[in-house]
Amino acid sequence: MNTAELLIQCLENEGVEYIFGLPGEENLHVLEALQGSSIQFITTRHEQGAAFMADVYGRLTGKAGVCLSTLGPGATNLMTGVADANLDGAPLVAITGQVGTDRMHIESHQYLDLVAMFNPVTKWNTQIVRPNNTPEIVRKAFKQSQSEKPGAVHIDLPENIAAMAAEGKALKRDNQEKTFAAYHGLNQAATLISQAVNPLILVGNGAIRANASEALTEFATQLQIPVANTFMGKGVIPYTHPLALWTVGLQQRDLISCGFDRTDLVIAVGYDLIEYSPKRWNAEGKIPIIHLGNNPAEIDSSYIPAVEVVGDISDSLMEILRRTDRSQKAKPYATSLRPGLCADYEQYAKDEEFPVKPQKIIYDLRSVMGDEDIVISDVGAHKMWMARHYHCSRPNTCIISNGFAAMGIAIPGALAAKLVYPDRKVVAVTGDGGFMMNSQELETALRIGTAFVTLIFHDGGYGLIEWKQQNHFGHSSFIKFNNPDFVKFAESMGLKGYRVETTADLVPILQEALAQDVPTVIDCPVDYRENLMFTKKAGQLLCST
């Protein structure tokens, strides 16, 4: 047995189902070891796509997604998706091929110090230099990747080490026991919540990772405390719940901002500062905060908790609920905001203007998707609208890259989502800019039989940057480009292509596309004049008394 074969045995022991990646000269022994393995190798068209697939697989399953590249340019291509997983808290294991250890001391073809290069974008990374250490390295990699807060790790395997004889066997996976919060913190939190007049819950992705949706919903319902979620916390409480205030995190004021203006206590549950900077909602650092999560709070001058409750999130919520009495309290001010939010959302239901307003595209998309169906949002102007208007009943049904916010994630991510949940509808929502960054992975999707819909918001430019330029300077520059005929582009790859030519077309096209057994592409012109209209509206926002 050689090192590569031992590596694959260890990956099988970790329950790895897929490895996403590209073949290369320096990973030949790993690819050969996969022959006859239970692990399916998904040959992608670009290493960035492979890393994004592993990223979204990890986010949806809680198990580390695995991606593979060769050395040099293959490894540098992998880095964007690896960094995205690391900042967004998605477990991922990246494996790179490398030159032999006998060539590292001299200038060598395609050689880069990959351990040094990946160090800033991973939780942990190392190089295998002794074949018999492989089981320990793999076990540590998966334990580090999947431990809270999850993230990316990297294993570098030189080609001569991969071919060397190795002895050993995969190590037993250890069960990580839950940790529970101290009574002192639970009691302090309960006291603050009992006394607060206008408490507000801010829930983040950590609550999803902890499977705390049921506990959070029960906690909010029993105590009648309204809930706002971050971009990555969608669906922790169903959007139809009367206490759900939907999504916070836009880089300008919105109606939910009024709730933060009036609150006298924020209960931050599974909240990560990278999701939505506390300087946006607590600039002066005066709002009392309860930090409730699996890890202690990060240091930030605008986020200094009065109480930290560190331990299993569901258990902490239930223990605080038992200790809290709000029976004599009126409903918090923020509960009065929900009718305005609902009215704003519903006003686009019958809008027939063309090109289609982004709010209408999202309203119609929501109408054809079930509670368990999944959308993967790319990054761009459409992402801001998806964050604001695409509402969820279940966790992990709207995936938004918001820590690293990397363009190009939607199509590879949708492929991974369809592998994880083949019976659910999956839609990649992207701008025309993001679409062209990883559209080649639609061939991968067709080849492996993952049928999902790609919905393109077509405006012929980098819409989010134009939005910011207009806000800052009153004009835009260097953001326009030309596009191919997206319908012909799809058809040339053996996919189905659709073009929206009236607003009334969108729902029937979505329904037909979702019924196909091959990947489909929908070209939908979007009216981004709504961007500046929203900015103007936000600037005029007055909170009710």
Residue 538 has pLDDT above 80, yes or no: no
Token code pair at residue 328: 């004599």
CA distance 166 to 476: 59
End-to-end C-alpha distance for the chain, whole angstroms: 73
Closest CA to 384 of 465, 271, 485, 287: 465
* In CATH, 183-334 is 3.40.50.1220: yes
Q: How far is residue 303 from each of residues 2, 172, 256, 287, 357, measured CA to CA in Å?
A: 51, 40, 19, 9, 36
Closest CA to 295 of 207, 390, 217, 358: 207
Low-confidence winner among 264-273, 329-338, 526-535 (lowest mean pLDDT):
526-535
Q: What is the pLDDT of residue 376?
A: 98
Q: Coil, strand or helix: which one is 377? A: strand
Tallying the residues shown for the chain, one arrives at: 545
Task: Write down the pLDDT at residue 249.
Answer: 86
More confident residue, 469 or 425: 425
Q: Which value, to the nearest 10 degrees, does the dihedral of the CA atoms of residues 131, 136, 137, 142 take? A: 140
Count of beta carbons in the 10 Å neighbourhood of residue 480:
11
Mean of all residue pLDDT scores within the chain: 95
Cα–Cα distance between 278 and 285 in angstroms, integer?
A: 8
Contact 538, 253 (CB under 8 A): yes
- Whole-model pTM? 0.96
pLDDT digits (tens, 9 = 90+) for 53-101: 999 999 999 999 999 999 999 999 999 999 999 999 999 999 999 988 7
Pair 467, 532: CB distance under 8 Å: yes
What's the rounded mean pLDDT across residues 44-49?
Answer: 98
Answer whether 3-163 and 183-334 agree in fold.
yes
pLDDT-based confidence at 545, cuts 50/70/90?
low
CA distances from 93 to 52, 57, 68, 123, 125 (A): 12, 11, 9, 10, 9
Confidence of residue 455 (pLDDT cuts 50, 70, 90): very high
Q: Band the pLDDT of 542: cuts 50, 70, 90.
A: confident
Domain 3-163: CATH class, spelled out? alpha beta
Q: What is the pLDDT of residues 508-525, one digit of tens each?
A: 999 999 999 999 999 999
**526 has a pLDDT exceeding 80:** yes
Helix (H, G, I), strand (E, B) or coil at 310: strand
Question: CA-CA distance, 281 to 269, in Å (whole number)?
Answer: 15
110 has a pLDDT exceeding 90: no
Cis link prior to 149 (omega < 30° from 0)? yes
List, in sequence order, every beta strand (DSSP E) within 177-296.
199-203, 227-229, 244-247, 265-269, 289-293
The first and second tokens of residue 526, run together, are 């979007």
Q: What was the pLDDT predicted at 544?
A: 74
Please provide residue 186's backbone torsions phi and psi, each rounded to the nearest 5 degrees. -60, -45
Q: Give Cβ neighbours of residue 194 (< 8 Å, ≥ 6 apart).
A: 324, 325, 326
Task: Give the pLDDT of residue 103.
Answer: 75
Which helix H or strand E contains 453, and what residues bound it?
strand 453-458
Nearest to 49 by CA among 64, 35, 69: 69
| Overall average pLDDT of the 241-247 stretch | 96
Average pLDDT score over residue span 442-468: 95
Percentage of the chain beyond pLDDT 90 is 88
Cis peptide before 355 (omega within 30 of 0): yes
Superfamily of domain 347-536 in CATH is Thiamin diphosphate (ThDP)-binding fold, Pyr/PP domains (3.40.50.970)
Question: Does residue 264 contact residue 234 with C-beta atoms inside 8 Å?
Answer: no
Where residue 165 falls among pLDDT bands split at 50, 70, 90?
Answer: very high
| Longest distance between any two alpha carbons in the chain, whole Å | 75
What residue spans define the domains of the chain?
A: 3-163, 183-334, 347-536
Q: Are 421 and 396 in contact (CB under 8 A)?
A: no
Q: At what angle do helices 255-262 and 338-346 cross, to 10 degrees?
A: 170
Structure tokens at 466: 């134009």
Q: Backbone phi, then psi, for 303, in 5-degree steps?
A: -140, 80
Distance CA 57, CA 52 (A): 8
Q: Is the dihedral of CA 326, 330, 334, 339 positive or negative?
A: positive
Please state the rounded mean pLDDT for residues 438-466.
96
